[in-house]
Amino acid sequence: MNVKETIEKLNELELQEFAYGHAMGILSYDDETVAPKGSVIPRGKTMGVLSELSYKLSTGDGAREILDALKEHYDELSPEDKRRADLREKRMRELRAIPVEEYVAYSQLVNDAANVWREAKNKSDYKLFEPYLGRIVEAQKRFAGLVRPDMDPYDYCLDQYEEGLTREKCEAFFKTLRERIVPLIDKVKAARPIDDAFVHVRFPIADQRELSQRLMDIMGLPRDNCILGEVEHPFTNGFSKHDVRITTHYYEDNFLSSMYSVIHEGGHALYDLHSDDRFCFTSLEGGVSMGVHESQSRFYENIIGRSREFVGLIYPELLRLCPRLAAHSVEELYRAANVALPSLIRTEADELTYPLHIMVRYEMEKAMIGGDVKTSELPEMWNALYKEYLGIDVPDDRSGILQDSHWSGGGIGYFPSYALGSAYGAQLLHKMREDFDVSGAIRQNELVKINNWLEDRIWKYGSLYKPAELMERAFGGPFDPKYYTDYLERKFTEVYGL
């Protein structure tokens, strides 16, 4: 095969891989949003078949010939195709190391586990979920050993969500965070508390739905390509740049919860919506890693969404939809949206204590993958870590170890992306401010300036660069968590008048 033929074959192969991923993604989305309980049986069958077929497609003779041809012509390839060749080689190595039966059995395991986890959480009964979690952990360890026997198994897990991230990097990163954040949290605890009781005003869900639409307008989310669904645990599913689904959950007495989940998921969506058109239906379409993805979502949620300017921007809309809020000023609302207090639920946590929730999970994952703890002891460990890191008692498994869906879907190694993404976001803000008045853009409802900046430096590149390289290009230098800790210190010193 010459280069042209090779790339044509590669495009065809990647389109087929896209189709399998898309079909399985829609099956999962359907499961999360509407599917009846009994659907677990046919979905398990279909997921099993499709994952086997997609495994065979990606590892079969055709794919191998393409990979060989890519390697043969490597020097003649464009930078885009070089990256595709690299990604393909990585994928081939990973998949071929795992026997197809194990690959298929694992896809069925996580299909079942997602359903069992939901039930276990509803009943606050960890015992139901324990055997599934045990099998998922065992599978992850086994896959790590098969694919990268040279690597620490937890490094392998981290690398699945943030290419190149390691335990060593995490340790250093979390150490820096701890050193700066823990004293700051202590100071906040000692400061005069902020009254945020008023945000728990009754805000009818129909009106919150309207607020969500307004938020999507402000963020510039095109409705023809992005819709908002309602689920128990909000997530984003970017099938392609033409079809991105965001979700939220409404609580009548907590409009900030859905407001910030819409902004968070909207940040994910913007990233997926703006991959370069050239990358459509190839391995370069869509966000490169969960760390970069979370950098966009948490940038939008916190750095933009919880800024004084954004709260001021949305304030008139809030008063229109919920007139009782008028008894409180923009400044009061801004401070209420930034109350920093150790709490129980990660997704509801404030910007300052949030990284501690991640560190709990990071410690848990290290122990699980390291085999240092029995699955039966995990709730106890979780609760002890919450006491140690956040100083709070976990009343039950529902709000403890069962609160997040990630592990039920096999997502061990994902959580550190959230903290890393938050830190990326702060460094992006620093850089963005060198180029234009970010606060002014928010104040004037010109988020398009922010979007254009991010599109130009992050979004349009899809998966073209490795995460660390992409961020360094955007930062104009190496990643440094000090921008994040500086940001947190500045913000919460000001909010709490420390």
What's the gap between Cα 392 and its chain centre?
A: 25
Q: Pattern 80-119, binding to a second copy, x per CB under 8 A?
A: ----------------------------------------
Binder of a second copy out of 1, 3, 9, 33 (CB under 8 A): 33
> Does residue 38 belong to the site contacting a second copy (CB under 8 A)?
yes
Q: Is the dihedral of CA 489, 494, 496, 498 positive or negative?
A: positive
* Cα-based distances in Å from 50 to 100, 176, 284, 487: 12, 44, 22, 45
**Can you tell me which of 35, 116, 341, 392 binds a second copy, judged by CB under 8 A?**
35
DSSP label at 423?
Answer: H
Residues 235-264 that bind a second copy (CB under 8 A): 239-240, 242-243, 245
Question: Least distance in Å: CB of 399 to a second copy?
Answer: 27
- Minimum CB–partner distance for residue 24 and a second copy (Å): 8
Pair 382, 388: CB distance under 8 Å = no
Catalogue the E-assigned strands of 140-207: none
Q: Is 246 helix (H, G, I), strand (E, B) or coil?
A: strand
Residue choice 5, 8, 30, 456 for contact with a second copy (CB under 8 A): 30
Q: b vs e for 380-412, b when ≥16 Cβ sit within 10 Å of the residue's Cβ? A: ebbbebbeebbeeebeebbebbbbbbbbbbbbb
State the amino acid at position 78 in one-letter form. Answer: S
Task: Give the three-class secondary structure for 238.
Answer: strand
Q: Which stretch binds a second copy (CB under 8 A): 45-53, 186-194, 255-263, 469-477?
A: 45-53
Using CB under 8 A as the binding rule, whether residue 231 contacts a second copy is answered as no
How many chain residues touch a second copy (CB under 8 A)? Answer: 41
Please give the residues from 160 up to 189 whose contact with a second copy meets the rule CB under 8 A: none
Site for a second copy in 263-302 (CB under 8 A): 281
C-beta of 244 vs 336, nearer to a second copy: 244
Q: Can you read off the two tokens belonging to residue 164?
A: 């190149």
- Taking CB under 8 A as the rule, does residue 205 contact a second copy? no
The CB-of-322 to a second copy minimum distance in angstroms stands at: 21
Strand partners, 240: 243
Query: How far apart are the C-alpha atoms of 246 and 49, rounded to whole Å?
Result: 27
Of the candidates 17, 94, 163, 265, the residue annotated as catalytic is 265
Is 265 considered catalytic here? yes
Q: Choose one: 38-46, 60-68, 305-313, 344-352; the region binding a second copy (CB under 8 A).
A: 38-46
Reported for 368-371, long-range contacts at CB under 8 A and 24+ positions apart, including other chains, are 368/137, 368/412, 369/137, 369/140, 369/141, 369/144, 369/153, 369/154, 369/157, 369/412, 370/153, 370/154, 371/141
Q: Which stretch binds a second copy (CB under 8 A): 39-47, 74-82, 186-194, 343-351?
A: 39-47
**Of residues 90 and 223, the one with the C-beta less far from a second copy:** 223
- Where in the sequence numbering do the catalytic residues fall? 265
Q: Which residues bind a second copy (CB under 8 A)?
A: 15-16, 18-19, 22-24, 26-27, 29-30, 33-43, 45-46, 48-50, 53, 222-227, 229, 239-240, 242-243, 245, 281
